[in-house]
C-alpha cells in the first residue's frame, strides 16, 4: 500500500525502536483501546459500513501480540477498583474495549483474545442485541453497495450522481456524515427512506448476522468478558433532550443487567467526541451509580488525569487502515501529535 510521508516516518520510528523507546518512557499511563468491528472490509460479501471496521482478524491478532509485549493488559474490574481508590494499576496499563455489540466481536475477536487470555469490555447498544435492525450507517452502506442506480434524489443530500464504485462510496460516506449531525428523529426518518430512494429491497436476512445475540454476550461474560452500556438506540447524547438521554442510559443498563444477571457500572458515549456529551451527562452517569464513562476523545491519559475525570476517560480509536507502526504510534500519543503538526498540509 502506498504510504504517506507520516506513514513512512512512523514506519522508520517503529523499525528503529524509537516508538518502543517513547512508549517505555511513559510508565504511568492508562491506554484504553477502542475497537468496533473485527472483519475484512475488502471481502466481497462485506456490504456494511467499512469505517467501523477496526482491524481484520489477522491484524487484530498482531496488535494483541504487540500489546502483550509492551503493556500490562488489565480488566475493567481492575480499572474500576483503581478509580475507586481500592488498588493500584500496573505501569503501562492497557484496557481493551469494543463499542456497539457487533457479531464479529464474538466470531473474530473473542477467539484471538481467549487464545492470549486477555480480558475485554464490550459496550452494548442494547436495541440491536439479538435483533436484525441495522444502525443507520450500516443500512446506508448496504443500500449504496447494492443499488443499480447512478443518480438518486437522496434524503438530506438531494440529487446525487456517481459514475463508478469509488464515486458511489464517496457519496455514501458524505451521506452518513451529513446525516450524523441531524437531530436523532430526522436521522431515523432519512435512513428509513433510503432503501426506496436507492431502489434496494431489504429482506429479513439482510442484517441477520450483524449484531451479537444475548446468548453470545452471556458466553463471553461467563469467561470474564465485561459488558458496559452504550445507550439503547445509539443517539448522540448532546443532540437529544436530557430526559431522553436519561432514559437511554438507564434502560440500556437495565437491559444488560436483566439479560446477564451482572451489574453494569461502565458506559461509553455514542460517537464519544467532546461535542457529543456534556457535563450534564457525566453528572447523570454518576447519579445512576456508574463508576466510569468512556469517550472517543483521543488518549492515552496519565493516571492522574484519569483519576480526576473518571466519567470522561479518553480512548484510542483503532481503524482498519492502521498498520502496526501507526497502531503503536497511536498508543504512545505520537500519531495524534504528528497528525496535529501536519494537519492542513
In the complex, the residues that contact Zn ion under the rule CB under 5 A are: 99-100, 270
Whose Cβ is closer to Zn ion: residue 54's or residue 160's? 54
Spatial distance between the Cα atoms of 79 and 202, rounded to a whole number of angstroms? 43
First to last CA, the chain: 21
Spatial distance between the Cα atoms of 330 and 297, rounded to a whole number of angstroms? 12
CB of 99 to Zn ion, least distance (A): 4
Whose Cβ is closer to Zn ion: residue 175's or residue 269's? 269
Whose Cβ is closer to Zn ion: residue 70's or residue 273's? 273
CB of 342 to Zn ion, least distance (A): 28
Strands 313-317 and 292-298: parallel
Whose Cβ is closer to Zn ion: residue 136's or residue 144's? 136
Q: Count CB-CB contacts under 10 A for residue 201.
A: 8
CB of 271 to Zn ion, least distance (A): 7
160: β partners: 152
Question: Which three three-digit cell numbers place residue 157?
Answer: 443530500
Phi-psi region of 231 (alpha: psi -120 to 50; beta: other; left: phi over 0): left
Spatial distance between the Cα atoms of 152 and 149, rounded to a whole number of angstroms? 7
For residue 52, which of 325, 324, 321 has the smallest C-alpha distance?
A: 321
CB of 268 to Zn ion, least distance (A): 7
Question: Which three three-digit cell numbers place residue 243?
Answer: 430526559
CB of 31 to Zn ion, least distance (A): 20
Whose Cβ is closer to Zn ion: residue 99's or residue 226's? 99
The DSSP 8-state label assigned to residue 238 in this structure reads: G
Bond into 300 cis (ω within 30): yes
Spatial distance between the Cα atoms of 329 and 336, rounded to a whole number of angstroms? 8
User: Is residue 219 packed enough to be buried (19+ CB in 10 Å), middle (13-18) or exposed (0-12)?
Assistant: middle
Question: Which three three-digit cell numbers place residue 211?
Answer: 449484531
For residue 33, which of 332, 339, 262 has the smallest C-alpha distance?
A: 332
| Distinct helix (H) and strand (E) counts, the chain | 15, 13
CB of 171 to Zn ion, least distance (A): 23
| Residue nearest Zn ion by beta-carbon distance | 99
CB of 100 to Zn ion, least distance (A): 4
Whose Cβ is closer to Zn ion: residue 99's or residue 127's? 99
Please check whether residue 266 is in contact with residue 294, taking contact to mean a CB–CB distance below 8 angstroms.
yes
CB of 318 to Zn ion, least distance (A): 14
Which helix (H) or strand (E) segment holds residue 230: the answer is: none
CB of 230 to Zn ion, least distance (A): 6
Amino acid at each position: 500500500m502506498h504510504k504517506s510521508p507520516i506513514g513512512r516516518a512512523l514506519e522508520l520510528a517503529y523499525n528503529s525502536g524509537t516508538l518502543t523507546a517513547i512508549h517505555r518512557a511513559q510508565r504511568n499511563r492508562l491506554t484504553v483501546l477502542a475497537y468496533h468491528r473485527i472483519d475484512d472490509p475488502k471481502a466481497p460479501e462485506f456490504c456494511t459500513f467499512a469505517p467501523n471496521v477496526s482491524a481484520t482478524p489477522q491484524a487484530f491478532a498482531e496488535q494483541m501480540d504487540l500489546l502483550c509485549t509492551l503493556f500490562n493488559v488489565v480488566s475493567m474490574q481492575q480499572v474500576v477498583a483503581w478509580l475507586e481508590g481500592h488498588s493500584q494499576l500496573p505501569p503501562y496499563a492497557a484496557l481493551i474495549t469494543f463499542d456497539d455489540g457487533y457479531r464479529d466481536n464474538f466470531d473474530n475477536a473473542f477467539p484471538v483474545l481467549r487464545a492470549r487470555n486477555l480480558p475485554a469490555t464490550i459496550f452494548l447498544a442494547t436495541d440491536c442485541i439479538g435483533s436484525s435492525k441495522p444502525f443507520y450507517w450500516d443500512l446506508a452502506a448496504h443500500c449504496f453497495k447494492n443499488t443499480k442506480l447512478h443518480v438518486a434524489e437522496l434524503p438530506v443530500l438531494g440529487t446525487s450522481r456517481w459514475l463508478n464504485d469509488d464515486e458511489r462510496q464517496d457519496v455514501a460516506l458524505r451521506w452518513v456524515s451529513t446525516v450524523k449531525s441531524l437531530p436523532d428523529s430526522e436521522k431515523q426518518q432519512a435512513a428509513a427512506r433510503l432503501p426506496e430512494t436507492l431502489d434496494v429491497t431489504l429482506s429479513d436476512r439482510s442484517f441477520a448476522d450483524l449484531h451479537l445475540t444475548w446468548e453470545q454476550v452471556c458466553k463471553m461474560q461467563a469467561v470474564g468478558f465485561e459488558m458496559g452500556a452504550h445507550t439503547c438506540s445509539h443517539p448522540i447524547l448532546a443532540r437529544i433532550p436530557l430526559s431522553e438521554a436519561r432514559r437511554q442510559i438507564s434502560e440500556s443498563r437495565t437491559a444488560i443487567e436483566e439479560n446477564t444477571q451482572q451489574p453494569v457500572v461502565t458506559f461509553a458515549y455514542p460517537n464519544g467526541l467532546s461535542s457529543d456529551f456534556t457535563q450534564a451527562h457525566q453528572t447523570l452517569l454518576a447519579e445512576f451509580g456508574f463508576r466510569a464513562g468512556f469517550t472517543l476523545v483521543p488518549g492515552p491519559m496519565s493516571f492522574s488525569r484519569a483519576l480526576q475525570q473518571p466519567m470522561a476517560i479518553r480512548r484510542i480509536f483503532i481503524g482498519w487502515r492502521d498498520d502496526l507502526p501507526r497502531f503503536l504510534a497511536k498508543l504512545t500519543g505520537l500519531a495524534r501529535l504528528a497528525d496535529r503538526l501536519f494537519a492542513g498540509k
